[in-house]
Amino acid sequence: MKKFLLFLLFFSLFFIVSCGADDASDNEELSDIPDWDYSNVVSDDEAENSAAPTDNTEPDSTDSAADPGYQDPTNDPGTSDEMPDNENALPEGCGNETVEYGERCDSAAPITCSNLNSNMSGATKCLPDCTAFDMSTCDKKVWGVLNVRFFTRFIMDNAKTGDPNYFAQGTLPYSAFNGLYGDTTKFFPQSGDFSVSFAVTDNYTGTFGANKRQLFVKQNPASGYPRHELEFAPGTIKSGAEYKINAVSLFDLVDNLLKLVRYRLVDKQNGQECIMGIGYSGSVFITSVYPENADLYEGGSVEIVANNVDFYYPTEVPGLDEETTVPEEVLKYPLCSK
């Protein structure tokens, strides 16, 4: 009898466990698996190319200069006085001794001014906000000298820079241009000038009507002048390319293998922009550009560096005579008075 009761208890337990297992298997149906969103998954290839810009989204067309009814408030394409929303914020990472995106420099240690340009002497150091070097402590050996370091993740279309929202996409809160100039030494950037630096692409029309895109790198101090611009030869740009500063040669659309670039120091007198300095010698190096060898640069990225650029008052450029003058196309602006 005891054996029979024990057998009955064992059989009952086995039946209960078996039923529970069946119930569990019935509840796991494919229709109950959630529909996962894979749109944010990044592949290995995409992760490696994450530095390349992918967001070319433009602002609402009602705010864009492309809108036929839009009026450019600046009347000076590429030089909007609007500042990014974070104009007073320090670049992220400022103070960690590493120059990062949005920083011109990042070190409390002094350096010799000749490290920035061989025609400067003295010593300088980075400003506390990482936006520029303190050029007031340097001396110059020629009329004007400058060094340039610039990197942007978004190159703008010059025709749209009157739209503040669009303009802010590519501006940087630091001065790409540092240097000294003049018969009486002046330096840039000046403390508190709230400089922003940016790159734009624009159309260039040659003598015979041929059109190509060309790149400009500019600095726009909303609080005043002088401002600066580099105008690259029209056509494609490649990483590792070296552009030579030139004060007198015109761009040649047929053969731009010379890779010329113009530097201008632009001032404002009597309410009108004028040219105070023109680049004479030195090189600008293309550290990186994306996409390479493309005529249309909008939405791409570019990084440049130049540590040896010299410039002069336009009528005092060395080597000029009655037969060799600075062409109007190179000057671009009326001459400033000293």
**DSSP per-residue codes, 100-164:** -TT-S---SS-EEGGGT-TTEEEEE-B-TTSS-B-GGGEEESSSEEEEEEEEES-PEEGGGTTSH
The verdict on residue 5 lying in a domain is no
The verdict on residue 172 lying in a domain is yes
- Given this model, what pLDDT does residue 56 score? 39
13 vs 195, residue with greater confidence = 195
pLDDT digits (tens, 9 = 90+) for 137-167: 999 999 999 999 999 999 999 999 999 999 9
- Given this model, what pLDDT does residue 80 score? 52
Domain of residue 209 covers 144-331
The verdict on residue 31 lying in a domain is no
Whether residue 168 has pLDDT greater than 80: yes
Lowest mean pLDDT among 84-98, 111-125, 194-208, 298-312: 84-98
Whether residue 316 has pLDDT greater than 50: yes
The verdict on residue 225 lying in a domain is yes
The verdict on residue 91 lying in a domain is no
Going by C-beta distance under 8 Å and a sequence separation of 6 or more, which residues neighbour residue 253? 204, 206, 207, 208, 210, 212, 234, 235
pLDDT digits (tens, 9 = 90+) for 202-245: 998 876 777 889 999 999 877 679 999 999 999 889 999 999 99
The verdict on residue 98 lying in a domain is no
The verdict on residue 38 lying in a domain is no
Report the domain count for the chain: 1
The verdict on residue 175 lying in a domain is yes
Determine phi and psi for 14, rounding to 5 degrees. -60, -40
- Grade residue 89 by pLDDT with cuts at 50, 70 and 90: low
Its pTM stands at 0.74
Among 250, 248, 253, residue whose Cα is nearest residue 234: 253
Q: What average pLDDT does the chain have?
A: 78
Task: Indicate if the alpha-carbon torsion angle 215, 219, 222, 223 is positive or negative.
Answer: negative
- Given this model, what pLDDT does residue 252 score? 79
